[in-house]
Amino acid sequence: MLQKVSLPMNKLAKSLCVLNKVHHVRLMSAAVNQEHNFFFRQLFDTVSSTYTYLLADKRTREAVLIDPVLEHAERDAILINELGFKLIYAMNTHMHADHVTGTGMLKSLLPGTRSVIGKASGAQADVHLVDGDLVRFGEYQLQAAATPGHTNGCLTYIFNQQPLSRVARLQGGSSHPIVQVSRQQRGIINSSVQCKALRRDACGSIRCV
């Protein structure tokens, strides 16, 4: 279920904090301990250094998969079936240049799955998200936050006040010629300034490292 909401900046400030991969897992693990019915698992592709995240509601069995890799689509489908989950959304944080997304294959392997990506990415998908959109699975939800820089369509997905995006670090440089470098740098600077302000405000409500 998708829902569009208008998110005040002060509310977003309490939700978004720029963290690296280790801190993502640490905070998400804490969320798992606090949420008895919440399932979280991180998967990894060594070739492209892509982190894939599986989130699910253990009560309703509805699940979402973030940034799946084509070469591991069968692995992911087997895992989801073994766990007894129903994948409803295969989601991307951005349009990838270092690997092919596994969303198309997962839709074939797991009928009923819908692909999701940011509208600003210009990529094809069943669902296009903009800043503030909500993606629901069971009793839980992910909120899309626009964080352009690495690409114009980059999204950070926020769960229970924890940001989940492997590109949320917003580091400088241009690893792939996806967008014009000058535009990319402007996006990185703008998103970095915004996220630094959000980080200061968020530290009162969640742990920021």
Domains and CATH numbers, the chain: 2-202 (3.60.15.10)
Look up residue 207 and give its two tokens. Answer: 């742990």
For the chain, what is the total number of helices (H) and then of strands (E)? 5, 11
**Strand, coil or helix: 184:** helix
Model confidence pLDDT, tens digit, residues 68-108: 999 999 999 999 999 999 999 999 987 765 557 899 999 99
Enter the pTM of the model.
0.69
DSSP state of 27: H
- For residues 83-115, one letter each, b for 16 or more C-beta atoms within 10 angstroms of the residue's C-beta and e for the rest, the string is eebbbbbbbbbbbbeebebbbbbbbebbeebbb
The rounded average pLDDT for each run of 10 residues, N- to C-terminus, in the chain (209 residues) is 49 35 52 75 90 95 96 97 98 73 95 95 93 94 85 82 44 41 52 52 32
